[in-house]
């Protein structure tokens, strides 16, 4: 695989000196790059966006009906609840 930038070539040269890659790997990449002029750095590609409508695969599937179960018993609202004293206990 050829180098994409001068910065990448320098990084591989550093890895070669540190012994993290083999001479063969560096030379292979260097040969494939050839003598072409490389940019200093390569910018990341922008995320692709689709500009049109989304393609749908036919009609939407209907959601299955839910089973009806007995509802939970609601506790009385605070206004209807038994009055409490300041200590938090029920008044007698």
Instruction: Provide the residue ranges of all domains of the chain, joining segments of one domain with +.
Output: 1-35
Q: What is the pTM of this model?
A: 0.46
The pair of structure tokens assigned to 27 is 């030379």
For 26-78, the pLDDT digits (tens) are 899 888 888 878 888 888 887 777 666 666 666 777 777 777 777 777 766 66
Check if the beta carbon of residue 48 is closer than 8 Å to that of residue 54: no
d(CA 3, CA 32): 8
The residue assigned the tokens 């990341």 is 44
């Amino acid at each position: 695989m050829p180098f994409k930038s001068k910065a990448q070539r320098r990084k591989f040269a550093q890895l070669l000196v540190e012994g993290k890659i083999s001479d063969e790997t560096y030379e292979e990449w260097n040969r494939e790059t050839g003598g072409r002029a490389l940019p200093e750095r390569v910018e990341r590609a922008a995320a692709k966006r689709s500009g049109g409508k989304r393609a749908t695969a036919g009609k939407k599937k209907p959601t299955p009906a839910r089973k009806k179960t007995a509802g939970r018993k609601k506790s009385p609202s605070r206004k209807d609840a038994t009055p409490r004293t300041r200590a938090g206990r029920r008044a007698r």
